């Protein structure tokens, strides 16, 4: 052990400055860890040449087809011998964290111990962009026993490749007054009922679920997931007059106007006289001072969260909570980045049956994706190719004007089914 | 393989409840108020009056186990033994005794973990793997982030921006770092260099052809070997062919540049969620400290800080002042490359006589 350190003049530059340095951490490991020594050697080489030197491969654990990211060095001498042999295999285990990324100090230590005991490098990232704990740096021969150790502790591999991926939920109900549903339960319901698609990759491409408790969307569900579950409510914003007056006491009418009223995207908020008159139907009215009330037209509120963010506690989500489901968010490849778009404007998510419904919807969308997407096509691209209406019909979801920003602006459509479709609309209205 | 005694339990995502601070567990779904007493500190109150303070600190994300044990020890000595991580790799300590807040801040600061990242600060950079672990990186991730956060340290520990600022970096155009107020992303500028000796054995050629967004790749015989060729006039240098076909090397020490994008936002607050937009490109991949990138990011942040109004995110600010003013105020050049000619690009043109003078 304790191989001689390589010279790392480039990496040494990254020990300067006030932000915590991963290089200093690697050096700490390298004192008694040859894998870290050689990892630094390879990384320094990349800094010199500005090329990466890892290639993929096939490494896994018994029964699973994914969850390990294999990395083999490409830096070899003329005889094919690795230049940095101790880091020639440097695989990552993607391990799913507790939903909401909660840890006790003991759990953190136990994860470190398990990683070191089973041959891990001692390097861990909290967390990867999909939300995995990334245990970085292990040889092929140690992968199985390392996974077994984590698995004995109650942890499981996450997703990789054309598979269901590890999910994320915000802190939500655990510590946020904006939370509109039990995010952790929703995550665990949807993910843990579909693990077959995570552990044995056989989808056309990756599929991600993400869960945000409110439209502030702190886990970026709308853009970073194929199916985003975002909390919302359909009754009126709740108000707390005491907190509203407290807020006002430390702000001015100008603040209220500039920071709250005029920043409402649908002009649903007005500043009115505090005349003691009762609020009308669908109106939230709260006194901020003896002179003025805020009046919010809830039927025209789009639940953007801005006024709730500015006046925390004074304004709160309503009580009739649920979720909006959006489908099709993804990154750049191949058609350009896409946001998820609405497929379920509102559904309740409280009872066991509600969670069962969410699980069924998730399963149906996964199935439709599996059957209809082309190879290496994300859900958003599939919908772009076939059109939202075909997607909705495949899933037996009724069209809804909340799904669009505006109706079509071109006439390139056959409308010979118009009367039947209009009838369906009236039937649905009558049944509602 | 040694004899295996463990039988896999496909347990999936673990239940967070055993690891959650008891006050958070007891008040699950029952919070009614929060405030921001100072940078790096959040205060939450539940229906029943229970209170909890959160102290947030930055980490390097790729952590050696000594760092993690240090964070755990701080949790035991100065907090209640419970932590969580945010999506931007900040660590949060929760305490129920307000008196613990200042000693906890001191312990974190003394050990080199900057306390901040809350509310209208510049938070930690969401980032990727880069040279440390990715198989296709154009640049590093952790190093870029370290260099950048050193420059932005004051903006992390203070809360002086108009609204929160989220950053991301990505080491290729796939953009695993995601949408952000300011995103720093590799932008290749030359077509892939093909090693025709290897293509036939390494690449599944039809699927490589299918990956290209502009249909610039076609099968070809080169020197008698089945390979692929690229129509370099059509090629947009996106690098999509490189992951499925490593002999199509897209990374280039000189010609893989760095671009900066602004105005991405996932939150629904005020405007609908928005994608970030290209504002600067052609910056050199200048490891180990990327000073040119840092300079542009700081210039954009300083302009936003001076000109943005309270609660305006980057995109809200630009929506108000308009893009001509953005380029004017930041001093960044506007070029033909800013005008989108990809499908749907017409939607980004100014189809009106709305001009600010």
Q: How far is A431 from chain B (nearest CA, A)?
A: 31
Asked if residue B198 lies in contact with residue B133, where contact means CB atoms within 8 angstroms, the answer is no
Q: How far is B321 from chain A (nearest CA, A)?
A: 15
Q: How far is B94 from chain A (nearest CA, A)?
A: 10
pLDDT at A1: 57
Nearest Cβ partner of A223 from B81, B91, B178? B178
Interface residue B44 vs chain A (CB under 8 A):
yes
Q: How far is A414 from chain B (nearest CA, A)?
A: 23
Q: How are the residues of chain A apportioned to helix, strand and coil, as percentages rounded to the nearest 5? A: 40, 20, 45
Interface residue A316 vs chain B (CB under 8 A):
yes
Nearest Cβ partner of A18 from B28, B114, B270? B114
- Using CA coordinates, name the residue in chain B closest to A198: B12
d(C-alpha A313, C-alpha B36), whole Å: 12
- Using CA coordinates, name the residue in chain A closest to B68: A108
Mean pLDDT of B97-124: 98
Adjacency order of strands within the sheet including A133-136:
A68-69, A92-95, A133-136, A123-126, B62-64
Q: In chain A, what percentage of residues exceed pLDDT 90?
A: 98
Q: How far is A277 from chain B (nearest CA, A)?
A: 26
d(C-alpha B275, C-alpha B256), whole Å: 23
Q: Which residues of A129-155 are buried (b: 16+ CB within 10 A; e: fewer)?
A: bbbbbbbbbbbbeebbbbbbbbbeeeb
d(C-alpha B235, C-alpha B217), whole Å: 8
Interface residue B49 vs chain A (CB under 8 A):
no
Interface residue B65 vs chain A (CB under 8 A):
yes
Q: Is B178–A175 a contact, with Cβ atoms under 8 angstroms apart?
A: no
Write out chain A residues lying below 8 Å of B44, CB-based. 175-177
pLDDT tens column, A2-19:
799 999 999 999 999 999
pLDDT at A267: 98
pLDDT at B2: 61
pLDDT tens column, A257-292:
999 999 999 999 999 999 999 999 999 999 999 999
CA A37 to chain centre: 34
Q: How far is B221 from chain A (nearest CA, A)?
A: 25
Q: Is A174–B20 a contact, with Cβ atoms under 8 angstroms apart?
A: yes
Neighbours of B355 (CB within 10 A): 8
Cis, peptide link before residue A127, omega less than 30° from 0 = yes
Q: Is B67–A20 a contact, with Cβ atoms under 8 angstroms apart?
A: yes
Q: Is A156–B10 a contact, with Cβ atoms under 8 angstroms apart?
A: yes
- Using CA coordinates, name the residue in chain A closest to B173: A332
For chain A, give the mean pLDDT. Answer: 97
Interface residue B8 vs chain A (CB under 8 A):
yes
Neighbours of A18 (CB within 10 A): 15
Smallest CA-to-CA distance from A311 within A218, A178, A212, A171 is with A178
Q: Is A14–B288 a contact, with Cβ atoms under 8 angstroms apart?
A: yes
d(C-alpha A142, C-alpha A119), whole Å: 6
Q: How far are the Cα atoms of A190, A193, B11, B344 from residue A185, in angstroms, in the given order?
A: 9, 12, 14, 38
Q: Residue A171 pLDDT more than 80?
A: yes
pLDDT tens column, A78-96:
999 999 999 999 999 999 9
pLDDT at A432: 87
Q: Is B114–A19 a contact, with Cβ atoms under 8 angstroms apart?
A: yes
pLDDT at A333: 87
Q: Residue B257 pLDDT more than 80?
A: yes
Q: Is A177–B29 a contact, with Cβ atoms under 8 angstroms apart?
A: no
**Test mutation, B5, B13, B215, chain A, max A CBs within 10 A:** B13
Write out chain A residues lying below 8 Å of B240, CB-based. 333-334
d(C-alpha B16, C-alpha B54), whole Å: 18
Write out chain B residues lying below 8 Å of A170, CB-based. 87
Q: Is A105–B211 a contact, with Cβ atoms under 8 angstroms apart?
A: no
Q: Is A156–B12 a contact, with Cβ atoms under 8 angstroms apart?
A: yes
Write out chain B residues lying below 8 Å of A258, CB-based. 309-310
pLDDT tens column, B9-35:
999 999 999 999 999 999 999 999 999
Mean pLDDT of B223-241: 96
Asked if residue B82 lies in contact with residue A103, where contact means CB atoms within 8 angstroms, the answer is yes
Q: Residue B3 pLDDT more than 90?
A: no
CA B299 to chain centre: 18
Tokens of A87: 């880091």
Q: Is A151–B11 a contact, with Cβ atoms under 8 angstroms apart?
A: yes
Interface residue B261 vs chain A (CB under 8 A):
no
Interface residue B175 vs chain A (CB under 8 A):
yes
Tokens of B165: 């600022």
Q: Residue B71 pLDDT more than 80?
A: yes
Band the pLDDT of B1: cuts 50, 70, 90: low
pLDDT tens column, B170-214:
999 999 999 999 999 999 999 999 999 999 999 999 999 999 999
Write out chain B residues lying below 8 Å of A145, CB-based. 2, 4
Write out chain B residues lying below 8 Å of A47, CB-based. 131, 140, 143, 287-288
Q: Is A18–B65 a contact, with Cβ atoms under 8 angstroms apart?
A: no
What contacts B293, CB < 8 A, 6 or more positions away?
A: B144, B148, B184, B258, B260, B283, B286
Write out chain B residues lying below 8 Å of A173, CB-based. 28-29, 31
For chain B, give the mean pLDDT. Answer: 97
Q: How far is A354 from chain B (nearest CA, A)?
A: 17
pLDDT tens column, B122-180:
999 999 999 999 999 999 999 999 999 999 999 999 999 999 999 999 999 999 999 99
Q: Is B31–A179 a contact, with Cβ atoms under 8 angstroms apart?
A: yes
Interface residue A404 vs chain B (CB under 8 A):
no
Q: Is B288–A106 a contact, with Cβ atoms under 8 angstroms apart?
A: no
Give the DSSP H/E element, type plus range, for residue A422.
helix A418-431
């Amino acid at each position: 052990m304790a191989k001689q350190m390589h010279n790392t003049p480039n990496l040494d530059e990254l020990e300067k400055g006030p932000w915590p340095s991963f290089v200093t951490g690697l050096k700490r490991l390298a004192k008694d860890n040859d894998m870290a020594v050689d990892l630094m050697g390879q990384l320094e080489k990349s800094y010199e040449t500005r090329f990466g030197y890892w290639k993929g491969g096939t490494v896994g654990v018994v029964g699973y087809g994914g969850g390990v990211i294999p990395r083999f060095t490409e830096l070899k001498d003329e005889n094919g011998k690795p230049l940095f042999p101790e880091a020639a295999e440097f695989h990552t285990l993607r391990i799913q964290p507790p939903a909401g990324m909660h840890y006790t100090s003991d759990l953190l230590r136990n994860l470190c111990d398990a990683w070191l005991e089973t041959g891990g490098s001692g390097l861990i990232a909290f967390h990867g962009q999909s939300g995995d704990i990334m245990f970085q740096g292990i040889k092929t021969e140690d992968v199985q026993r390392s996974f077994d150790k984590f698995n004995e502790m109650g942890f499981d591999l996450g997703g990789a490749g054309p598979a269901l991926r590890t999910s994320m939920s915000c802190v939500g109900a655990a510590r946020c007054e904006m939370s509109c549903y039990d995010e952790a339960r929703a995550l665990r319901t949807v993910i843990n009922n579909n693990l077959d698609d995570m552990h044995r990759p056989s989808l056309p491409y990756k599929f991600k679920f993400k869960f945000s408790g409110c439209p502030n969307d702190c886990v970026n569900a709308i853009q970073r997931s194929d199916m985003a579950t975002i909390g919302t409510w359909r009754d009126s914003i709740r108000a707390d007059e005491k907190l509203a007056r407290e807020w006002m006491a430390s702000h001015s009418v100008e603040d209220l106007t500039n920071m709250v009223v005029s920043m409402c995207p649908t002009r649903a908020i007005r500043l009115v006289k505090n005349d003691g008159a009762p609020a009308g139907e669908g109106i939230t009215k709260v006194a901020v001072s003896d002179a003025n009330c805020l009046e919010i037209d809830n039927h025209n509120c789009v639940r953007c969260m801005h006024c709730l963010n500015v006046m925390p506690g004074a304004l709160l989500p309503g009580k009739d909570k649920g979720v909006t489901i959006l489908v099709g968010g993804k990154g750049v490849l191949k058609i350009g980045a896409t946001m998820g778009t609405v497929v379920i404007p509102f559904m309740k998510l409280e009872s066991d049956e509600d969670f069962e419904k969410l699980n069924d919807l998730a399963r149906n969308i996964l199935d439709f994706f599996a059957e209809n997407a082309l190879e290496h096509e994300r859900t958003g691209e599939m919908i772009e190719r076939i059109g939202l209406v075909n997607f909705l019909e495949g899933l037996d979801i009724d069209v809804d004007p909340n799904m669009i920003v505006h109706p079509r602006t071109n006439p390139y459509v056959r409308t010979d089914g118009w009367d039947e479709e209009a009838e369906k609309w009236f039937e649905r209205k009558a049944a509602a | 393989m040694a004899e295996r005694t463990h039988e896999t339990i496909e347990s999936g995502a673990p239940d967070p409840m055993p690891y959650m601070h008891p006050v958070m567990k007891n008040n699950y779904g029952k919070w009614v108020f929060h405030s921001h007493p100072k940078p790096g500190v959040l205060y939450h109150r539940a229906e029943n009056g229970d209170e909890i303070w959160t102290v947030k600190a930055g980490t390097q994300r790729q952590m050696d186990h000594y760092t993690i044990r240090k964070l755990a020890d701080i949790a035991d000595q100065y907090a209640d033994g419970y932590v969580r991580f945010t999506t931007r790799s900040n660590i949060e300590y929760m305490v129920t005794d307000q008196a613990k807040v200042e000693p906890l801040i001191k312990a974190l600061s003394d050990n080199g973990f900057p306390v901040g990242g809350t509310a209208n600060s510049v938070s930690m950079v969401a980032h990727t793997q880069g040279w440390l672990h990715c198989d296709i990186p154009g640049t590093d991730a952790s190093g870029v982030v370290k260099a950048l956060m050193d420059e932005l340290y004051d903006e992390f520990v203070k809360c002086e921006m108009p609204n929160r600022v989220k950053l991301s970096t990505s080491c290729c155009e796939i953009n695993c770092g995601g949408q952000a107020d300011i995103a720093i992303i590799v932008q290749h500028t030359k077509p892939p260099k093909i090693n025709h000796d290897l293509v036939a054995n390494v690449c599944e050629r039809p699927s490589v052809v299918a990956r290209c967004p502009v249909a610039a790749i076609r099968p070809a015989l080169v020197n008698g070997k089945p390979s692929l060729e690229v129509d370099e006039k059509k090629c947009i240098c996106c690098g999509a062919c490189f992951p499925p076909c490593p002999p199509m090397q897209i990374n280039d020490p000189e010609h893989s540049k760095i671009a900066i994008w602004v105005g991405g936002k996932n939150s629904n607050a005020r405007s609908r969620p928005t994608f970030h937009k290209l504002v600067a490109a052609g910056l050199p991949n200048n490891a180990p400290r990327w000073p040119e990138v840092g300079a542009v990011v700081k210039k954009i942040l300083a302009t936003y800080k001076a000109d943005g109004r309270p609660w305006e995110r980057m995109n809200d600010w630009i929506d108000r002042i308009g893009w001509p003013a953005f380029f004017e105020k930041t001093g960044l050049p506007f070029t033909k490359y800013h005008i989108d000619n990809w499908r749907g690009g017409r939607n980004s043109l100014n189809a009106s006589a709305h001009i600010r003078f």
